[in-house]
Amino acid sequence: MPKLTFINPDGSRTEVDAAEGLSVMEAAHRNHVDLEGACEGSLACSTCHVVVAKEWYDKIPPASEDEEDMLDLAFGLTATSRLGCQIIVTKEMDGLTVTLPAATRNMMVGKK
């Protein structure tokens, strides 16, 4: 099972086992990593924003245009930012490292 490493806002690291086919966001939730996901992976927010380690960024499938649009709303956007709900874990991603931003911008609060 691939291992993912989450670097928390305080700098601590959390290594988890992630089943293939799960998103990075789902792997975080199943392992009690504090990564929000207000829209539950429906690509309607940017609260599952993660920063992919530079050495991994070109090894994962590129972001879709819809993901890029949502990333524009993310707090602390970087050149290697992605939405955790859009990165689907494969065996080739064993060792993937992502950093959780210090804050999120939840545009869904109060919306119905």
* Residue carrying structure tokens 């210090």: 102
Burial pattern 88-110, b for ≥16 Cβ within 10 A else e, equals ebeeebeebbbbbbeebebeeee
Type and span of the H or E element at 25: helix 24-30
Is residue 111 a part of any domain in this protein? no
Is residue 22 a part of any domain in this protein? yes
Model-level pTM?
A: 0.90
Is residue 91 a part of any domain in this protein? yes
pLDDT tens digit string along 64-105? 999 999 999 888 899 999 999 999 999 999 999 999 998 765
Is residue 55 a part of any domain in this protein? yes
Q: What is the CATH number of the domain that holds 50?
A: 3.10.20.30
